[in-house]
Amino acid sequence: SGSYRVVLGEHNLSQNEGTEQVISVSKIVIHANWNPNNVAAGFDVAVLHLSSSATFNSYVKLAALPSDGAVLSNNYACVVTGWGRTSTNGSLPSILQQAPLPVVAHSTCSSSSYWGSTIKTTMVCAGGDGITAGCN
């Protein structure tokens, strides 16, 4: 894992804004139940141990995650962020993008007209308005 690093406080990929903190990853812990041959089983999460502490400030903060076992309610406010494409075959943005993506109730998301049994209570199902999505 010594070849990985994280960049905290990044906003514009095309320029150094002075807000970035570059820290090497000392250890990667993949969830014990993760199975790359069965992605639908979930547990697609890993914890990155950093070689030094991050400095929290107005650019670097802890992510707000649900508590263990929590199932988020319908329309719970979530936000998706990233530098991915904002349209099919579109260019990749330099500026960090964000969009509100409200949670879809587990009962709806796991119904046969949505994702069915693929959706587990350990997953967060969000979006579905046909306009805003987390991947393109």
Q: Give 100-129 pLDDT, tens digit per residue.
A: 889 999 899 899 988 888 888 888 888 866
Q: Is 123 helix (H, G, I), strand (E, B) or coil?
A: coil
Q: How many structural domains comprise the chain? A: 2
Closest CA to 52 of 26, 29, 28: 26
For the segment 55-78, the average pLDDT, to the nearest whole number, is 91
Taking 80 as the threshold, does the pLDDT of residue 133 lie above it? no
- Same domain? For 107 and 131 the reply is yes
> Between 130 and 42, where is the model more confident?
42
| Bridge partners, 82 (sequence order) | 97
Rounded to the nearest 5°, which phi and psi values hold at 117? Answer: -70, -5
| pTM (two decimals) | 0.79
Could you tell me the residue range of the domain that residue 8 belongs to?
Answer: 1-62
- Same domain? For 47 and 71 the reply is no
Q: Give 74-102 pLDDT, tens digit per residue.
A: 999 988 899 998 888 889 999 999 988 89
- Same domain? For 96 and 119 the reply is yes
What CATH code is carried by the domain that includes residue 37? 2.40.10.10
